[in-house]
Amino acid sequence: MLLYGHGRRANVAHPGPSGPERRNTKEDNVLSQTTVAVQSKTAPGMAMTADPTQVPSDKLLERILDSLDDDKAEDVVSIPLKGKSEMADFMVICSGRSSRQVVSIAENLSERLKHEFGVVSKIEGKDQGDWVLIDAGDIIIHVFRPEVREFYQLEKMWLSPVPGAAATV
C-alpha cells in the first residue's frame, strides 16, 4: 500500500533472495525505486530520454529559435554569452503580444525541448505572464510583454558595445 504526504511511509515490495520482501521506505525512495524499475525494463545501453548534456548548445539554440518563430514570438534577439558569463552559452530575448501569448510561447518551448532533447527546463514567472524566464541549461530564454521588455532593457546590458561609440556618464 502506498501512502502519500509529507513524512508518511509506504510499503513497497522488493525482490529478495526468496521472493518479494516488504519494508517501509519514505516516499522519495519510492519514486527513485520506481525510476530504477522503469529503467531496468529498457533495453541495455538505451536511455529513457536523450542526455541533455550531450546536446550541443548550437543545435539547441537553433531549435529554440525555430520554436519561437513557430509561436510568432516578436523581436527575437540571440546574445552569445561565451566569454562573458559562465551561467550559459546563449541568452535569447523575445516578446509576445499579450500575457497569454507569453505564457503559451514559454510552455510550448519547454515541452518541445523536453520531448525532442530530454531537456527539462525550469520556468519562472509563468503565473503573471509579463516576463517568463526559461532555463534550458546552456541557454537562458526571456519572454516578455513589450512594455516590460522596454522597461528592463536586458539587451543593453548584455550586447557588446558598438565600436567607436562614446561612453556617456
* Residues 142-163: tens digit of each pLDDT: 999 999 999 999 988 877 665 5
Q: Cell triple for residue 115?
A: 520531448
Q: Which residue has the higher pLDDT, 157 or 14?
A: 157
Question: Please, which pLDDT band fits residue 6 given cuts at 50, 70 and 90?
Answer: very low
CA–CA–CA angle 26, 3, 17 (5° rounding): 60
Among 19-33, 73-87, 121-135, which is the least confidently predicted range? Answer: 19-33
Q: Cell triple for residue 19?
A: 521472493
Where do you find CATH 3.30.460.10 in the chain? 52-158
Whole-angstrom distance, CA of residue 147 vs CA of residue 158: 19
The three-state secondary structure class of 38 is helix
Give me the pLDDT at residue 160, please: 65
Q: What is the pTM of this model?
A: 0.64
Q: Which CATH class is domain 52-158?
A: alpha beta
Closest residue by Cα to residue 64 from 8, 128, 139, 123 = 139
Give me the pLDDT at residue 90, please: 92
Question: Please, which pLDDT band fits residue 37 given cuts at 50, 70 and 90?
Answer: very low
Q: Is the pLDDT score of 47 beyond 60?
A: no
The residue assigned the cell 522519495 is 28
Gap between the terminal Cα atoms of the chain: 68
The three-state secondary structure class of 28 is helix
